[in-house]
Amino acid sequence: MHGLLRRLFAPRWQHPNAEIRRQALETLDPQQPDQRDALKTLVDDPDPTVELAALLALGDLDTLTSRLPERQHVPGWREAVIERLTGREGQTDLYTRSRLVDSLSNTALLNEIALRGDNLDLRLTALERLVDDEDLIYQACNNGVASVRKRAAERLDSEASLKTLLKQARRDRNVMRLAREKLSRLRHDNEWFDQQMTRREELLEKLEQHARAPWEPLYGGRLRHLEREWRKLDHPPGPREEERFHQALLGARKTLNDHETQEQARQERQVHREEIETTREQLLAGLEETLSGLVHAEAVTLQDIDSLRAQRQLLGQRWQALSDLHAPPETTQARYTQALAAYERVTEAWQRWQTHQADVERGLADHDPATLEDRVKRVAWPKDLSKPALLQRAQALLALEQPAGEQTQKAPSLEALTAELDSFEHMLERGAFKSASRLHQRLKPAIDALDSAKAKPLKARLKQLGAQLAELRDWRGFVAGPKREQLTLSIEALAEAPAMADAALDRRHRQLVKEWKELGDAAASRALSTRFRAASERIHERLAPWRETLEQTRQANLRHREALCEQLETLCEQPADNADPDALRDIRDRARHQWREYTPIPREASETVGRRFGKVRHRLQALIDQRAEQIAAQKRALIDEVNALLHATERPIHERTTRTKALQQQWRTLGRAPKGEEQTLWKHFRGACDQLFAQRDAHKSEQSARAQQKLDAMQALIDEMDAWQPESVREAQALETFIARAQQLEPLPRNRRSEGMQRRLSGILRARRERLSRLEVADTVAQWHALMPLTRAHLSADQRAFEAQQNDAVEAAQVLATPPTGAFLDAHQRRNAARCAAISAPEQSRRTVEEGVARLRVHLSLLALGSVKPEDEPLRLAIQVERLNDGLGGERSQAEETRSVLAALMALGPMPGDVWEREVGELDALLSRLARPPHA
């Protein structure tokens, strides 16, 4: 009972019935604190309608909006949220509503707020939350505020959305203009993007082709040009394009680096070659100086011959090693050959002297002039060479035995002695101590024997030069003493070195021996010489196995070099007619490389095989030069052909450029011309090709200008046709004139603009032909209306014929001021004839007329409406078949078909009055529909 009382005395807003709670809620005042608390309690009511009413009474828009996703099914909830967010109901301030709208994600709700908001900022806030293009298009077309429409149109970026907006936005010209501008800008951007992509692809292909091409003098400049063109492109490349660019760039730079490396190696080889030439010149000059010293010496001794032999051995070893690295010039080789010949002459003379020296000594001891004369003749010592002391004594003894006239000798002249002193001074300046000492020994007695006053300057100069010689001798002894001691200690230490490699040991040993021999007889001592020779012998014994192995290697290298020479000789003897000079150059370079690898070789065979290799190399180079000259001739022919194409203006430019490209391909297949001429030929060929391609570009520019003029003329013609609206069927000739002018401008260049023009022109032509057709139909209907008095006269005559059974022919001239012509005149005549024939059978004539009228009505319905009533469907099928059959000979226009139907209607008779009255209303309606003027 307590619970029942509590329910009886409880407030109505706590009633179990939701409808009663909702009604009680309407009486609560939110301004009263207790009633406001009651409303807050009802906010969580289980019934959605009560909950909605409580939130509306409290004006709690935040909760109302936040619960919308869960209460979508509640009637009125969504509308309540929209009404309050848009400001149409409620007292919520603009800031709160804007904040709530900014947090919404419901697209439909945002669309409604953007359309119905009471504030521009609120609408724009809702618009900013919309991201779908369809929603933006809807707002741009249907929103009532121009600023919102403009903002929505500005946010559209895709081409499809802009096209849709351009079709639908009919109420706002600013939006249409904005869409048209953005669409044009987007198309321009797309064209620019396509141009950038096309240009980037062209540069990539050129760069990749350039990376695969061999090096040429303009290789680096072209690479830098392609890099600059690539950097000039504004649109950034994609990852794949960037990778292709870097790969091609790396390939091209590798080609450049390889060439630079080869050039650096060539320069290093050149420097090394110059060093070899300098060393070879020093060695050869040393041997020539020694031979010259033997000519000016007082007497030739065994030490002089041993020194000469040692120097010859050193020269032969070094000469062969240097020749293996680089062949000597012909002049240097000739000097070397002459020096060897002089050496052989000296050694042969010395060997003959050694053979007869003992006999000469006995002849001198026995004072036997006959034996001495015979042995001196057998020795045959060269006259321009200083003689050994013993041979000089023998010749002096023989001279004493000769008559006094024959003993007299001509004393040397002062000019000759002056020249000898100049040579003596020059030797001192060069530091040639041995030659200078021998010349001094020979000149001193000759000059001292002179008694004339003119000889005093010569004696003074000889004394001065002698002092310089003594000073040079003292200096050599001062320097050579410590040097000999150091060399002796070094070679002894070298002989005791246990872990030194054989090659390094031999190289160091040779260097020490060379330095020892270079000292000559300066500060020479028997003890040091013995120690040095003993250490050298120990080193020789230690290197014996290594030298044997080295000798085997030399023999193998000699065989390889001889085989290489045979291969090159075979190639030179049987060259191919189309041998590529680049391939021959490669063979030459590889042969040089192999020649250097096959070293060392035996000394005695090095000169012979070296000359053989030099000869075959010169033959190979001559073959290369010959083939290069042939290629140069072919390239000159290509240049002449390109120049002929350049001036053959009567031939089409595309044909000439195609032939030029073929010539460029042919140029690439040829090898290189001789060095120095290749670049000149390439400049001429490339210049001619560039001029021809410049002509092509100019021709294309001219064609493009003409095409642009055509497009502009066609655009002006299309605009003129678009502005022209025919008002009469008599203006059909103007349309034909437009078509003729358009045909004169064809064909148009094939691009997007011309395709768009063709589509627009086709649409305009179709619309104007359709308008002219409608005008012609309207003119035909107007003719029919003008003939209505004649039709009514026929109806009156038909009624008289039915009633009085008499035939009254209708005269058109009596009814109309202008009689009918053509099909209507023929119909008028047939109507009079049909009335006469129908008097004898009125019932049959009536049925025929009723069927004919119905058929013509259905035909007009098809022409005017394109459809018929369901009951007329059989007639429609028959008429369609008839129209198809009539159209086999050629399609009839709607005006011709309308004229034929109206003429048939006029010819149909006699017409009962009730039939005409029954059908005339619908016929007039159909004719009015057909005669409706077309809209502009």
pLDDT in tens, 523-555: 667 888 888 888 888 888 888 888 888 888 888
Cα–Cα distance, 137 to 146 (Å, whole number): 14
Q: Is the peptide bond before 747 cis (omega within 30 degrees of 0)?
A: yes
Q: How many CB atoms lie within 10 A of CB 318?
A: 17
Cα–Cα distance, 853 to 920 (Å, whole number): 10
> Residue 8's pLDDT is what?
41
> Residue 246's pLDDT is what?
82
With CA atoms as reference, report the closest residue to 148 among 129, 173, 123, 167: 123
Token pair of 341 as six digits = 């010949």
Query: What is the average pLDDT value for the chain, to the nearest integer?
Result: 77
Distances (CA, A) of 539 to 326, 496, 509: 31, 9, 8
Token pair of 879 as six digits = 């008429």
Pair 660, 642: CB distance under 8 Å = yes
585-625: per-residue pLDDT in tens? 888 888 888 888 888 888 778 778 888 888 888 888 888 88
With CA atoms as reference, report the closest residue to 356 among 370, 371, 340: 371
With CA atoms as reference, report the closest residue to 300 among 378, 366, 363, 352: 352
Distances (CA, A) of 282 to 289, 607, 707: 10, 19, 79
245-267: per-residue pLDDT in tens? 888 888 888 888 778 777 777 78
Reported pTM: 0.37
Residues 6+ apart with CB under 8 A from 561: 595, 598, 601, 609, 613
Counting DSSP H helices and E strands in the chain, the numbers are 39, 0
Cα–Cα distance, 185 to 191 (Å, whole number): 10
SS3 131: coil
With CA atoms as reference, report the closest residue to 543 among 506, 511, 508: 506
Pair 394, 360: CB distance under 8 Å = yes
Q: How many CB atoms lie within 10 A of CB 209?
A: 10
Token pair of 91 as six digits = 């007292």
* Chain position carrying tokens 């062209």: 202
* Chain position carrying tokens 């010539």: 663
Alpha helices in 380-455 (DSSP H): 389-401, 404-407, 414-430, 433-448
Q: How many CB atoms lie within 10 A of CB 183?
A: 17
> Residue 57's pLDDT is what?
59
User: With a cut of 70, which residues of the chain have pLDDT below it?
Assistant: 1-85, 87-92, 297, 324, 364-367, 397, 399-413, 431, 433-434, 452-454, 474, 476-480, 520-524, 804-807, 837-844, 865-866, 868, 883-891, 933-936
> Residue 418's pLDDT is what?
78
CA atoms within 13 A on the CB side of 187: 10
> Residue 5's pLDDT is what?
36
**Long-range contacts of 682-691, Cβ-Cβ distance < 8 Å, separation of 24 or more:** 682/216, 682/217, 682/218, 684/639, 685/635, 685/638, 685/639, 685/642, 688/639, 688/642, 688/643, 688/646, 689/642, 689/660, 689/663, 689/664, 691/646
Cα–Cα distance, 529 to 303 (Å, whole number): 14
End-to-end CA distance of the chain: 86
